[in-house]
Chain A
Amino acid sequence: MMDNNKKIKNIIQALGEHKDSEAAIELLTELGTNSPDDEIRELTAQTLIRKNTHESLRVVLISKGKGINDLSARVAMASINELLALKDKTEAIKILDDTIKMHSEEDVRNTARSVRALMTFSS
């Protein structure tokens, strides 16, 4: 018998492959990134990064408490690993550069700077 967590993970994966990408990103942002469960947040962040669109990357790179800025180290590290695994990092680097320059939160800017450095070394 499949437990609820597994079912939600499957829904997240289905949203990652969904044709209606915009609506899927909205749902992942609304329900996934705000989930109290670390596993759900981790999988949501990974899914959003794999989508590799401006909207999906913005959520995990510049939002406080989400993606690379998540309070859970597990979620943050999983997000960074996923970013480093991207074949096309152009959009992610662009957003990180803008964040380093313009974001109001210092913590967010510092995190963005660290991730940007990792991406530079890994590419």
Chain B
Amino acid sequence: MQIGKISLHTTKAVQQNAEKNTTASNKLSTNPFGVSFKGNVIQADVFESARKNLNGKNLAERGKLFASAVVSGINSFNEAFKSRMNSVVSFGKKITTNVFDTIERIGNTEISFDMTGLKNKLFPDRQYSIKNLTTKSVDELKTLWSGLAATGAV
């Protein structure tokens, strides 16, 4: 009978051990390395990745995050766009000012051509045409005549 008791105890003990092992294995199912912290087996939830957490959040929260990112992105884009537009606008203003300055300068500039001198250079003989010579004063004609006589021809 004692043998029977012993065997019964043994059987119970074996059963209890088996149950313990089963629960421990269940607890460690998501913690396969059995990492413990202060005597407690660390639960699987601790190892949930940030990505999993993020995935776990509802759509509204994700939307907020995404929206804030978009808003910040839009703000930075706006700032960059504004700064570029400012430079474009300032460049345009500078161009406009320069154009107006140039127009004003042109308006105040007197352009004159010495047509007589130009004609004389292009057509040197025309200077000595009778029509042209009659418009000159006698002193000018004297100078021309003296100049020609001094060259030795006459």
Chain A residues engaging chain B, CB cutoff 8 angstroms:
1-8, 10-11, 13-15, 17-18, 20, 23-24, 26-27, 31, 35-37, 40
Contact = CB atoms under 8 A, between A and B. Distances in A.
B137 A4 contact: no
B95 interface: no
Interface in B96-153: 125, 128-130, 133-134, 136-139, 141-142, 144-146, 148-149, 151, 153
A23 B139 CA distance: 9
B1 interface: no
B151 A20 contact: no
Given A8-B154, A13-B133, A14-B141, 10 more contacts: A4-B151, A5-B153, A6-B128, A10-B128, A11-B145, A11-B148, A15-B138, A17-B130, A27-B138, A31-B145
Given A4-B153, A11-B145, A31-B146, A18 B125 contact: no
Contact of A18 (B134, B149, B153): B134
Interface of B: 125, 128-130, 133-134, 136-139, 141-142, 144-146, 148-149, 151, 153-154
Given A8-B148, A8-B154, A14-B133, A1 B141 contact: no
Contacts of A36: 154
B154 A18 contact: no
B154 A20 contact: no
Given A11-B144, A31-B149, A40 B154 contact: yes
A7 B126 CA distance: 10
B133 A10 contact: yes
A14 B137 contact: no
B135 to A, nearest CB: 9
A21 B133 CA distance: 14
B141 A27 contact: yes
Given A11-B144, A17-B134, A24-B138, A2 B128 contact: yes
